[in-house]
Chains A and B, each alone.
Chain A
Amino acid sequence: MRCLIIAEHDGQNLNTATARAVAAASQLGVEAIDVAVLAHGGQALAEQAAILEGVSQVLLLDREENAHPLAAVLAPQIAALAEGYSHLFMPSTTFGKDVLPRVAALMGLPQISDLMTVKGPHHFERPVYAGNAIIELQCPPEQPVLATVRTASFKPVGTGDAAPIETRALEIDLPGHTRFVALEADAGDRPDLQSAERVVSGGRGLGSEENFRLVEQLADKLHAAVGASRAAVDAGYAPNDLQVGQTGKIIAPELYIALGISGAIQHLTGIKDAGTIVAINKDPDAPIFEVADLGLVGDLFEIVPQLLEKLD
């Protein structure tokens, strides 16, 4: 049995989701874990993948068409690469969720989304109903397992000796019907929401985009990433990539501070694995207090300035 993992990157750096997928693969008991890097000018990326602990080999597919992560372009290459592997994993990020189902359909195989527990090489768990239920799955051992890995469930592997890098060239015609136009990314220098140890999130209770600065100020003081509820994103207080929850990011920081967030089930799904949850909300009956390790009932516009002062 061998597992292939498709690396996730932004063209410059591998992101930690890849190291988390390797961690999940390490629990399968497979003979080899290979990582494929599909990129344009990807030598440095391949080198980053090669030092991930437990990786046996890195396959580099360097090709101009791979400059941007377009599912229609990547999927046929991945399906070809996956030949001979018993497992194919991608992180359950917007990248993996976009690409892997396309690969699965090309291979005529089912796919597991958000794999959260490895109980055996063909025996897994995953959440359904926004995390309100967990299902245990037994997959047919004679066919490859394709899964996206719920990143919050696995700690990223460390680094070690470099594994060999093999450059592959595939003779495949790639479609031209899908074209990258632009990426509007927030180029802030705050820690990345998905890998940060501390996160400060704001909800509708902030009341305006201007007031949302308070969330950012507290985050900066704590060297934390900034998150938001859907209501805060919908209202335009924060950009979409900061949304935490069922349809946003699933995160597992050591410290999560929720400011003016009620704690709807779809939001809580995103923070179940956080170490310590702190809630600041003026409504003592807000559901967020049912999961918060530390709750403080009160007006955030009084509490947060005090926190900022005392943290100095």
Chain B
Amino acid sequence: MKILVALKRVVDYNVRIQVKPDGSGVAVEGAKMSINPFDEIALEEALRLKEADKAEEVIVVSIGPEAAQQQLRTGLAMGADRAILVQSDEAVSPLHAARILHTLVQAEQPGLVLLGKQAIDDDSNQTGQMLAALWGRPQATFASKVALEGETATVTREVDAGLETIAVDLPAVITSDLRLNEPRFVKLPDIMKAKRKPLDIRPLEELGVTPPPACQIVRWRAPEPRQAGHKVETVDELLTALKERGVL
């Protein structure tokens, strides 16, 4: 079985995001870029399944600019077998991304597609679900545990009520939550080895996927700041202040 893992290149989660004064976007030029943390977890899970002999090949895919090769190389260094970059300088919407992934899925015929539950830039949390719909296959989102047995995956999902377990027939789409695993660190020899692994670059235009109609971003703004209050010295002062505010 093949496993396809989608990796998005995003601004690293430690970078402080600031909106440009003219409202045209966020000032992230030159910022540190990384694999979306949820996608890294998805890849780790795929690698563990391969190491447990549940899969033969792990393919990492990214849709993004030329520079997203860096994130794919990191994925290869972690242990993926080969990589595909669908090159696009424009950001794609989740539905567009799902359509692109769907064409790759039709070509590669994986038994499992693993993605992060959301990307930490647009926070959409849509692509995996959309891919599953287009593919007509099951989805198991927000996974914190995955067990493969024959043609079925049993997945524990982090939901608002607690932990939900569902069983899905393969092929299926699984999206990872933070507690699924802790991704490995890449070692220097693996980085060297990754340089020789295949990385196939395909311009988005060549895929023949039409972009769906989308909403336009007309303006970016910073969130309303919360005013810092003041510090109190004692528990009594705290209780008095809470009573004055009418919350006790």
Contact = CB atoms under 8 A, between A and B. Distances in A.
Contact of B132 (A102, A233, A284): A102
B221 interface: yes
Interface string A220-250: 0010000000100110000111000011010
Contact of A110 (B212, B231, B234): B212
Contacts of A255: 242, 247-248
B213 A143 contact: yes
A98 B161 CA distance: 14
A216 B68 CA distance: 45
Given A111-B94, A185-B161, A255-B247, A295 B167 contact: no
B93 to A, nearest CB: 6
Interface in B208-230: 212-223, 226, 228-230
Contacts of B228: 289-292
Contacts of A134: 220-223
Interface stretch (B103-111, B117-125, B186-194): B117-125
Given A72-B132, A241-B160, A130 B123 contact: yes
Given A101-B130, A111-B95, A130-B123, A194 B160 contact: yes
Nearest to B10: A129
A296 interface: yes
B137 interface: yes
A282 interface: no
A101 B216 contact: no
A105 B130 contact: yes
B231 A104 contact: no
Find the residue from A133, A184, A234, A311 having the highest chain B CB count within 10 A. Answer: A133
Interface residues of A, number: 87
Contacts of B216: 137-139
Contacts of B124: 111, 113
B242 A294 contact: yes
A70 B232 contact: no
Which secondary structure characterizes the binding site on chain B?
A: mixed
A114 interface: yes
B19 interface: yes
Contact of B17 (A129, A140, A234): A129
**Contact-size category for B:** 35 or more
A182 B216 CA distance: 41
Interface in B110-163: 117-118, 120-134, 136-142, 144, 154, 157-163
A98 B222 contact: no
B235 interface: yes
A132 B235 contact: no
Given A130-B123, A177-B169, A94 B142 contact: yes
Given A136-B219, A181-B167, A184-B162, A233 B179 contact: yes
B223 to A, nearest CB: 6
A312 B137 CA distance: 56
A89 B166 CA distance: 25
B126 A296 contact: no
B229 A294 contact: yes
A98 B139 CA distance: 9
A98 B138 contact: no
Contacts of B167: 178-179, 181
A110 B214 contact: yes
Given A101-B94, A133-B220, A310 B215 contact: no
B213 A109 contact: yes
A94 B142 CA distance: 8
A71 B168 contact: no
A134 B26 CA distance: 10
A110 to B, nearest CB: 5
B169 A131 contact: no
A306 B235 contact: yes
A303 interface: yes
B241 interface: yes
B130 A183 contact: no
Interface of B: 11, 13, 16-19, 26, 93-95, 98, 117-118, 120-134, 136-142, 144, 154, 157-169, 172, 177-179, 212-223, 226, 228-236, 238-239, 241-242, 245, 247-248
30 contacts: A101-B125, A104-B126, A104-B130, A105-B98, A113-B124, A132-B18, A132-B222, A136-B221, A137-B216, A139-B215, A177-B137, A177-B168, A178-B167, A180-B166, A184-B164, A239-B163, A240-B163, A241-B161, A246-B120, A247-B117, A247-B178, A289-B231, A291-B228, A293-B245, A294-B238, A294-B241, A294-B242, A295-B231, A296-B238, A307-B235
Given A240-B162, A296-B234, 12 more contacts: A109-B213, A111-B94, A114-B123, A132-B16, A134-B221, A139-B215, A234-B178, A239-B163, A265-B16, A276-B242, A310-B236, A311-B239
